[in-house]
Chain A
């Protein structure tokens, strides 16, 4: 799988403007997500990354344009960690069980559902934390729990909002590998990130956003000084190491400030 989007289309955004309280945040969006896609949406804070994600999720109605989802599409969403109250009275297992199939609304889970939860928690490496209260988890463990909750839905497409924000390097590494494995298993992945070197440079396909889509393509296509300047509003230098693009921010040199670090 190339990850750049060549299979059947799952979601189509055509000529879309969107925002909140009649103020557009992002305009002229034409973005199609394919079955084999693995895309990172890159941009600075306030650029419209989460808005674009919400359009794909269908939780935000466009002001203009058309959004089409393939019929019966199974989606899973991993939000930013700070969107929920971690003091909410549930254990890790109870939290993951929330996303079990809609048909079962009753207070207790079926045996197959319990086995499924145990399996996804093991896969995420947090099986032994199943009965812990969610407040007791570290940032990385909270992120894994959100991923487990998303995996329980056996999605065709997984959308993640800053999945590596606030987690350590090891968890970031594990999350990226898990997403790569899921993609290999046929799950389309779309995530937002502002981490160019840690995340974006390692993905097969990127979309650079700042109030509109600035550029779209492989990291080699879009991680260029010109595109980055248009996206982030600052000139950046781009190096290449072992085939991976590395972005270096241009700024005052420490030595030039007279420091002796």
Chain B
């Protein structure tokens, strides 16, 4: 019990714990759609792309770098969506070029001009130090926005994830839903970037959702399980980060990976069968002809 209570006497840890739990839950929640749409690579690319915006925005608008990085992230998300639909370049290649170029730009800007916000390492691997009240409010706002978006657009999101062509014929504006999902995803990545870290955000988008898929065949339950698993990883990862003295994002992801192995051991072939094909479904470029 003392192990649990001892770090809580520090204000930085209390804030860190709250932000880690919310970050894990948020990424776990939105990750269900990302994984089922076969967009895991987009989540990975987007987090790297936002890193470039993060670095650039700090140079040009030090006080508003979160806003700048947010706009950069949304622009990247929409560019990725557009390129994967319209370009003759393969989706993977297009995302690879856009996002790694943006990431490289971020590294170059950090190297040349340094940072007035989070350090280079903290941006890459996450940190619980120096979390401002504004960051906490921002994260809470993104959690509420994401929850409201999924609640109010549940049917359209589910339908366009499962069968975009029939969804479009049935009156769902698939392009708009996809663009809104990308905007919400980029906001979620931005809000969790400082705690989880650029390089590990993508892992937290994928791991809780995959574990949840191994545990259930119900979409509704998968949403709940994935959110709870993300939250659990955030909480446990924070404590381990505190005691092990390693970056928070690293431990959060390691907890997720360990949980994956435990669930795999218990569910065995049934879990693998359920999670089979998660990466093979819905290549965005293949949908190009069907989106209105």
Question: Measuring CB to CB, which residues of chain A are less than 8 angstroms from any residue of chain B?
Answer: 20-21, 54, 57-60, 75-77, 79, 83-85, 87-91, 94-95, 98-100, 102, 104-107, 133, 135, 149, 153
Contacts and interface: CB of A to CB of B under 8 A. Distances in A.
Contact of A79 (B165, B278, B280, B289): B165
A89 B218 contact: yes
A60 B290 contact: yes
A143 to B, nearest CB: 14
Contacts of A54: 289-290
A59 B165 contact: yes
A77 B172 CA distance: 13
B218 A91 contact: yes
B3 to A, nearest CB: 37
B82 to A, nearest CB: 16
Contacts of A77: 165-166, 169-170
B209 to A, nearest CB: 10
- In this complex, the interface size class of chain B, counting residues with CB under 8 Å from chain A, is 35 or more
Contacts, number: 98
B162 interface: yes
Given A100-B155, A105-B154, A21 B290 contact: no
B133 interface: no
Contacts of B159: 98-99
Contacts of B167: 98
B236 interface: no
Nearest to A105: B155
B50 interface: no
User: Which of B36, B155, B159, B292 has the most A CB atoms < 10 Å from its CB?
Assistant: B155
Contacts of A105: 152-156
Nearest to B222: A89
A98 B289 contact: no
13 contacts: A59-B168, A60-B290, A76-B170, A85-B282, A88-B219, A88-B281, A89-B219, A91-B218, A102-B155, A102-B172, A105-B152, A107-B155, A133-B217
- Which of A83, A88, A104 is packed against the most chain B CB atoms within 10 Å? A88
Contact of B158 (A60, A98, A135, A153): A98
Interface in B127-164: 151-156, 158-159, 161-163
Contacts of A104: 155
